[in-house]
Structure 1
Amino acid sequence: MKKILILFLSLSLFASCSDDDGTNTDDGSKIVGKWFLLDVRSSGQQNTLSECNQQSFIEFMADGSATSEFYEETDGNCELDDSDDGNWTYLGDSRYTFFIPNVGTQTGTVSFTSNSQFIFTTPSLPGVEVVFEK
């Protein structure tokens, strides 16, 4: 009887300690929201953008559409330089495709550093990290 009890406890321990509980919720929706351009780093060097540049944003909607605006300082005035309405796609494994103003449509990796910040990297811009913040 003692052996059966030990066997039962051992089996229940293995059943309760699973590495994958089947609740993977990574469907790409974490990116939904309005994200402002914070920084563009080249080869690890931080180049903090002006307050005007930091008004630039991409807004990702839950339906897969997106709106983006890029602001640039011209003659001392902060002006809208480029805007676009388009789509974004989650490809799985932290990979997305979306439009970045003044850069174009890019496919790359999104690394969330927190719920309010992510870093985007793409092979087409080697050594460049684009940082966005909510």
Structure 2
Amino acid sequence: MKKIFHFALVVLFTSMFINCSSSSEEEVYSIVGTWSFSQSIENGIDVLSDCERNGTVTFNEDKSFEGKYFALNNSNCVLDDTLTGTWSKLNNGEYTLVSKQVTISFSGENTLIVRENGKEDYEVWVR
């Protein structure tokens, strides 16, 4: 009887360990939060200026977003454009901006890769 009880405990703890290990391997990241413009890759080259790196995008829990883009104006770095809209999560774990032709995917927990659909160039946003 003791052997059966001991065996049952070993099986129970082993199955708990396997279940915990497999669930921790599935990385699920949230897009919600504020991200900073880090790179704009065109033909394999980062073309983002220091001023443009001031850009941010904030993804809200209500699925809205606001992006702020900066540019040089007479040697001054100024807010150049603000983009607002909504975002949605796709079935494959990627995201998209509704009515924009872009796909957003994670490269680790704190890095977003933004691609215009059908294009090789991409943007990198970090938090």
The number of aligned residues is 124
- TM-score (norm. length: structure 1): 0.70
Distance 1:58 1:51 in 2: 17
RMSD (Å), alpha carbons: 3.0
Gaps of 5+ in 1: none
Distance 1:114 1:85 in 2: 24
Matched, 1:131 2:124: yes
Secondary structure, counterpart of 1:88 in structure 2:
strand
User: In the alignment, what sits opposite 1:110?
Assistant: 105
Distance 1:120 1:131 in 2: 6
Residues 73-129 of structure 1: CA deviation (Å, up to 9, x unaligned) = 233232333212211111243310127xxxx713424123343x3223354222x23
Note if contact 1:33-1:61 (Cα within 8 Å) is conserved in structure 2: yes
Distance 2:116 2:108 in 1: 17
Greater shift, 53-62 or 71-80, is seen at 71-80
Note if contact 2:89-2:96 (Cα within 8 Å) is conserved in structure 1: yes
Change beyond 3 A, Cα 1:118–1:10: same
- TM-score (norm. length: structure 2): 0.73
Distance 1:40 1:94 in 2: 23
Gaps of 5+ in 2: none
Distance 2:58 2:93 in 1: 18
Note if contact 1:39-1:46 (Cα within 8 Å) is conserved in structure 2: no
Change beyond 3 A, Cα 1:69–1:123: same
Distance 1:111 1:53 in 2: 21
Opposite residue 8 of structure 2, the aligned amino acid is F
User: In the alignment, what sits opposite 1:11?
Assistant: 11
Opposite residue 35 of structure 2, the aligned amino acid is W
> Identity over the aligned pairs, expressed in percent?
23
